[in-house]
């Protein structure tokens, strides 16, 4: 049964903050090990639907043979440390890890739409983002081989961050933006692209720019600092301020400090354990 009151709440972890959107009853008993549970300020933009609405449950799990599965998406700017974190879990846990299908974006039957988009976003923005939407849908709907899946970004950030940035910067015509939005809305309505948790690697644009230059990926050589600043602001408005679009799951925020690419293993182990405890409890509330 759905609780009558819907609100956002924030949970603090050592070095982390967890923002959640979903229904919560005053009578609900939470035993998750978090040190603080309180309401933040209400979102300024009332257009943003809460992720805990009856049509978009925050804690909707994938079903596979009757067994519940958990999907976690690692979100963040370019060069924010996503791959490093995913590599840790791939090497040290039994979690299924899916990285972004960048190799596909670089080679579509001999064509490189990723490089073309960075060279001329006005001409190739729709081309790349159409293919990104398709390949990310493939990632979301791929049968899970483990009870827990970690994905690098999601179909949601592809639309809410990168398509949005192209449109706002004037590099995508409104007709292209509307067509991609229609496709995205249909996918969300008709396909299971739900996620259970977003881990947001909150990294300054300046740090991302330094890392980007050090790793010297061919397609990224033309990315200016201004692009990273725009992507960062969109992430902040979506996941922190929650004034851009609805957030499809709770959000675990990890601030990335200079000289670090990924939180220490013991912090990840403790934090993720508590998050799973929270998800189990929350799932019991909304059913």
Give 202's Cβ-side CA count (13 Å radius).
Answer: 16
Provide the angle, in degrees to the nearest 10, between the axes of the packed helices 205-215 and 225-235. 130
Q: Is 22 helix (H, G, I), strand (E, B) or coil?
A: strand
Which single residue is written with the structure tokens 């958990």? 70
CA distance 163 to 146: 31
CB 73 within 8 A of CB 195: yes
Catalytic residue among 75, 96, 100, 152: 152
Which single residue is written with the structure tokens 């840790």? 88
- CB within 8 Å of 227: residues ≥ 6 apart: 165
Q: Is 121 helix (H, G, I), strand (E, B) or coil?
A: helix
CA dihedral of residues 154, 159, 160, 166 (deg, nearest 10): 130
- CB within 8 Å of 49: residues ≥ 6 apart: 56, 246
CA distance 242 to 159: 15
CA distance 105 to 102: 5
Residue 152 bears catalytic tag? yes
Indicate the helix (H) or strand (E) that contains 114: helix 113-119
Report the DSSP pairing between strands 251-255 and 197-202: parallel
Which single residue is written with the structure tokens 């990104």? 132
Catalytic residues: 152
């Amino acid at each position: 049964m759905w609780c009558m009151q819907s609100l956002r709440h924030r949970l603090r972890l050592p070095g982390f903050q967890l923002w959640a959107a979903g229904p919560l009853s005053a009578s609900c008993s939470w035993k998750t090990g978090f040190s603080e549970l309180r309401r933040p300020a209400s979102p300024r933009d009332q257009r943003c639907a809460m992720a805990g609405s009856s049509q978009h449950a925050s804690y909707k799990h994938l079903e596979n043979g009757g067994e519940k599965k958990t999907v976690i998406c690692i979100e963040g700017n370019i060069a924010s440390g996503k791959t490093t974190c995913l590599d840790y879990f791939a090497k040290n846990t039994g979690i299924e890890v899916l990285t972004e299908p960048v190799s596909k974006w670089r080679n579509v039957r001999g064509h490189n739409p990723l490089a073309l988009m960075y060279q001329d976003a006005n001409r190739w923005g729709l081309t790349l983002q159409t293919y990104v939407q398709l390949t990310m849908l493939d990632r979301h709907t791929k049968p899970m081989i483990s009870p827990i899946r970690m994905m690098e970004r999601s179909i949601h950030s592809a639309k809410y961050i990168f398509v949005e940035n192209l449109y706002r910067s004037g590099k995508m015509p409104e007709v292209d933006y509307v067509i991609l939005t229609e496709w995205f809305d249909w996918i969300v309505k008709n396909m299971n692209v739900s996620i259970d948790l977003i881990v947001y690697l909150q990294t300054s644009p300046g740090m991302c720019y330094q890392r980007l230059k050090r790793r010297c990926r061919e397609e990224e050589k033309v990315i200016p600092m201004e692009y990273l600043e725009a992507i960062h602001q969109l992430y902040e408005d979506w996941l922190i301020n929650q004034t851009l679009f609805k957030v499809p799951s709770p959000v675990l925020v990890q601030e990335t400090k200079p000289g670090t690419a990924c939180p220490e293993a013991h912090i990840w182990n403790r934090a993720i354990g508590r998050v799973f405890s929270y998800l189990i409890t929350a799932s019991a509330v909304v059913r």
